[in-house]
C-alpha cells in the first residue's frame, strides 16, 4: 500500500483521538488520587478540560462530538454496570428491596420538589410553569455508573449500603422514566391545547416494570440452563464473549422496554451467579470477574471523560448561568442527602445519600429531551437554561463521588 494512502487513512484521526482520551483519563485520575479524591472525579474533570481546549484552541479534537468516543463510552458504562451486577445477586437485592424503594421514592420526590421551587424563585417572572417543572425533573435522576465506580474503588460495592444504592438507582431509573414521560406529555399537551396522554404514560411504565419482573424471575430461572448448554461447546475462550453477549442482549431488551440500556446490563450481572459459569471458569482457569476487569479498566474511563467533554464551557462561564447552576446543584444535593434517611436503621444515611447524588448521563438525557420539546416555536429549555442545568448536573456529578468517598472513609474510621 502506498505511503500516501496510509497517511490519508481517515481512521488514523480516530486512533489519535482515542489515545488522547485514555491519556487524559489516566492523568486526570492520577491527579485526583493524589488529591485524595476518587479517580472518577479526575476523569470527569479531564473531559471538561478537553472540552475547554476544543472550544478555545483551533484544530483541537472535539471529544464530546466524536462518534467513536461515544460508542466506546456507551460500551464502557454498559460493561461497568454488568460488572457491578455480578458483585450482587437477586436474593441479596431482595434483602434491601424495601430500603432501596424508600430511598428511591425520596430520591426522586425531594430533589424534584426542591428543583421546582428553586426554578420558580430564581427564574424571571412569567417563565412558563412547564419550564420550572422540567428543571425539577432534571434533578430527580441518579447516575448508577458513577456511584457504582466509586463503590468499586472503595471496596464497598458488596456492602449493604452499596446494594441499597444500586437497587435504589435502578428503581430511580424507572421512576425517572415515568417523570420524564409525564412531564414531557404534560408540557407538550399544554402547548398544543390537548389532553394529558395517560394511556402512553401507563403503557411505558407497565412495559418497564414487566421487563424488570421477567428479567429477575424467568431470566434467573433460564440463565443456569442456557449456560449449561454453553458449557457443552468445545471452542476455547468462551466465557467472556458469551458473558458480554448476555449483558448486551439484556441491555438491548431493556432499551426496548423503555429503560436505559445500563439497567438491562445491571440486571444481566445480577441474575448471572457464580454457579452458572462455574464449569467454564474451571475449564479456562479464570473467573468471569478476572476476565472482565481489564475491559472495565479500559472502557469505563472513556465514558467519564466523554461525559465531561460534552459540557458547553462557554455557556458555563456566564455569571448568571453559574449562579443558577450552583443554586440548582445545592438543592439537588440536599434533596438526595435527605433521601438517605429512607434506608432506615442499620444503614449509614450519609453513604446512601451521597451515593444518590450524581446525575451524570441520566440527567443529560432529561436536558436533551427538554431541548427538543418545542413551545411556540422555541425550545422549552433555552440555551442559557440548558447550560445552567448541565452545570448543576456537572457539579452534582463531581460532588457525588467526593462526598461518597469521604462518607465511606468516615464511616470506616
Condensed to tens digits (0 to 9), the pLDDT of residues 22-39 reads 999 999 989 988 887 777
Instruction: With respect to residue 407, please indicate whether it lies within any of the assigned structural domains.
Output: yes
Instruction: With respect to residue 29, please indicate whether it lies within any of the assigned structural domains.
Output: no
Instruction: With respect to residue 95, please indicate whether it lies within any of the assigned structural domains.
Output: yes
- The predicted structure's pLDDT at residue 406: 84
> Can you give 223-275 as a three-state secondary structure string?
HHHHHHHHCCCCCCCCHHHHHHHHHHHHHHHHHHCCCCHHHHHHHHHHHCCHH
Q: What element of type H or E holds 378?
A: strand 378-379
Which pTM value belongs to this model? 0.75
Half-sphere exposure of 64 (CA within 13 A, CB side): 20
Angle between helices 239-256 and 198-216 (to 10 degrees): 160
Would you say residue 330 has pLDDT above 90?
Answer: yes
Q: How many residues does the chain have?
A: 413
* Percentage above 90 pLDDT, the chain: 8
- As a whole number of angstroms, the distance between CA 364 and CA 307 comes to 9
- The predicted structure's pLDDT at residue 190: 66
Give the pLDDT mean for 385-393: 83
Q: How far is CA 189 from CA 183, 236, 403, in A?
A: 10, 56, 39
Instruction: With respect to residue 128, please indicate whether it lies within any of the assigned structural domains.
Output: yes
Nearest of 116, 114, 18, 124 to residue 72 by alpha carbon: 18
Instruction: With respect to residue 402, please indicate whether it lies within any of the assigned structural domains.
Output: yes
CB-count exposure of residue 320 (10 Å: 0-12, 13-18, 19+): exposed
Asked if residues 356 and 103 have their Cβ atoms less than 8 Å apart, the reply is: yes
Condensed to tens digits (0 to 9), the pLDDT of residues 125-159 reads 778 788 888 888 888 878 777 777 778 777 777 78
Instruction: With respect to residue 361, please indicate whether it lies within any of the assigned structural domains.
Output: yes
Asked if residues 294 and 52 have their Cβ atoms less than 8 Å apart, the reply is: no
Place of cell 460500551: 75
Instruction: With respect to residue 25, please indicate whether it lies within any of the assigned structural domains.
Output: no
Give the pLDDT mean for 226-243: 79
In the chain, the number of structural domains is 1
Instruction: With respect to residue 322, please indicate whether it lies within any of the assigned structural domains.
Output: yes
Asked if residues 386 and 371 have their Cβ atoms less than 8 Å apart, the reply is: yes
Asked if residues 47 and 41 have their Cβ atoms less than 8 Å apart, the reply is: no
Q: How confident is the model at residue 1 (pLDDT cuts 50, 70, 90)?
A: very low
Where residue 176 sits, what CATH number does that domain have?
Answer: 1.20.1530.20
Domain hosting residue 79, numbered range:
70-412
Q: Dig out the grid coordinates for 411 from the structure.
A: 464511616
Q: How confident is the model at residue 327 (pLDDT cuts 50, 70, 90)?
A: very high
Amino acid at each position: 500500500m502506498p505511503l500516501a494512502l496510509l497517511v490519508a487513512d481517515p481512521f488514523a484521526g480516530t486512533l489519535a483521538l482515542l489515545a488522547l482520551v485514555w491519556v487524559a483519563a489516566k492523568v486526570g485520575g492520577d491527579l485526583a488520587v493524589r488529591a485524595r479524591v476518587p479517580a472518577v472525579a479526575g476523569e470527569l474533570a479531564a473531559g471538561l478540560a478537553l472540552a475547554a481546549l476544543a472550544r478555545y484552541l483551533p484544530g483541537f479534537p472535539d471529544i464530546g462530538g466524536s462518534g467513536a468516543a461515544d460508542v466506546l463510552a456507551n460500551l464502557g458504562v454498559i460493561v461497568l454496570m454488568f460488572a457491578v451486577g455480578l458483585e450482587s445477586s437477586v436474593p441479596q437485592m431482595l434483602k434491601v428491596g424495601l430500603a432501596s424503594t424508600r430511598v428511591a421514592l425520596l430520591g426522586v420526590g425531594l430533589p424534584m420538589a426542591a428543583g421546582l421551587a428553586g426554578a420558580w424563585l430564581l427564574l424571571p417572572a412569567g417563565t412558563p410553569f412547564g419550564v420550572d417543572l422540567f428543571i425539577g425533573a432534571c434533578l430527580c435522576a441518579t447516575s448508577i455508573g458513577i456511584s457504582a465506580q466509586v463503590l468499586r474503588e472503595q471496596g464497598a460495592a458488596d456492602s449493604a449500603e452499596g446494594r441499597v444504592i444500586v437497587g435504589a438507582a435502578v428503581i430511580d431509573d424507572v421512576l425517572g422514566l415515568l417523570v420524564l414521560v409525564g412531564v414531557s406529555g404534560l408540557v407538550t399537551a399544554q402547548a398544543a391545547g390537548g389532553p394529558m396522554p395517560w394511556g402512553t404514560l401507563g403503557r411505558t411504565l407497565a412495559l418497564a416494570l414487566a421487563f424488570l419482573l421477567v428479567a429477575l424471575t424467568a431470566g434467573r430461572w433460564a440463565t443456569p440452563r442456557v449456560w449449561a448448554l454453553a458449557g457443552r461447546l468445545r471452542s476455547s475462550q468462551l466465557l467472556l464473549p458469551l458473558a458480554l453477549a448476555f449483558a448486551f442482549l439484556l441491555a438491548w431488551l431493556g432499551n426496548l422496554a423503555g429503560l436505559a440500556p445500563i439497567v438491562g446490563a445491571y440486571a444481566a450481572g445480577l441474575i448471572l451467579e457464580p454457579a452458572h459459569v462455574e464449569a467454564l471458569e474451571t475449564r479456562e482457569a479464570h473467573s468471569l470477574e478476572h476476565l472482565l476487569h481489564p475491559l472495565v479498566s479500559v472502557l469505563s474511563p472513556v465514558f467519564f471523560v466523554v461525559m465531561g467533554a460534552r459540557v458547553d464551557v462557554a455557556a458555563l462561564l456566564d455569571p448568571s448561568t453559574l449562579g443558577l447552576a450552583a443554586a440548582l446543584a445545592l438543592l439537588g444535593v440536599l434533596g438526595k442527602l435527605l433521601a438517605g434517611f429512607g434506608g432506615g436503621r442499620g444503614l449509614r444515611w450519609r453513604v446512601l445519600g451521597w451515593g444518590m447524588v450524581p446525575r451524570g448521563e441520566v440527567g443529560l438525557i432529561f436536558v436533551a429531551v427538554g431541548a427538543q420539546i418545542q413551545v411556540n416555536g422555541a425550545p422549552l429549555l433555552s440555551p442559557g437554561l440548558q447550560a445552567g442545568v448541565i452545570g448543576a448536573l456537572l457539579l452534582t456529578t463531581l460532588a457525588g463521588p467526593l462526598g461518597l468517598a469521604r462518607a465511606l472513609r468516615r464511616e470506616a474510621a
